[in-house]
Amino acid sequence: MARITKDQVKHVAHLARLSVSEEEVNTFTEQLDAIIGFAEQLNELDTDGVEPTTHVLDIHNVLREDEQRPSLDREEVLKNAPDHEEGQVKVPSVLE
């Protein structure tokens, strides 16, 4: 018995505003059925006593500490800018 039907694939495609051919519907039905089958295999695992986790490794905040450091010299930075005006980098306008 198929776990997903062609009508369900067409419905999801419609919700996603996707145009799919009948051949694509057949392909997606087979592929999604296989994916669901693989996911259902997880139900066969014995997970009693296994605590839920969000990550397999015990990782916490790995960001560096915030420390104040001297910034770049404005004149040195502006030397690398293709165009600048009044101490600021000048870029093309993106608004109309």
For 8-31, write each residue's pLDDT tens digit. Answer: 999 999 999 999 999 999 999 999
The residue assigned the tokens 């006593």 is: 49
The reported pTM is: 0.49
Residue 12 lies in a domain: yes
Q: Are 90 and 83 in contact (CB under 8 A)?
A: yes
How confident is the model at residue 1, as a pLDDT? 57
- Domain housing 27: 6-44
Q: Are 6 and 29 in contact (CB under 8 A)?
A: yes
Count of domains observed in the chain = 1
Residue 32 lies in a domain: yes
Q: Are 2 and 30 in contact (CB under 8 A)?
A: no
Residue 74 lies in a domain: no
CA 34 to CA 83: how far, in whole Å? Answer: 56
For 81-91, write each residue's pLDDT tens digit. Answer: 999 999 899 99
Residue 1 lies in a domain: no
Residue 14 lies in a domain: yes
CATH of the domain at 38: 1.10.20.60
Residue 15 lies in a domain: yes
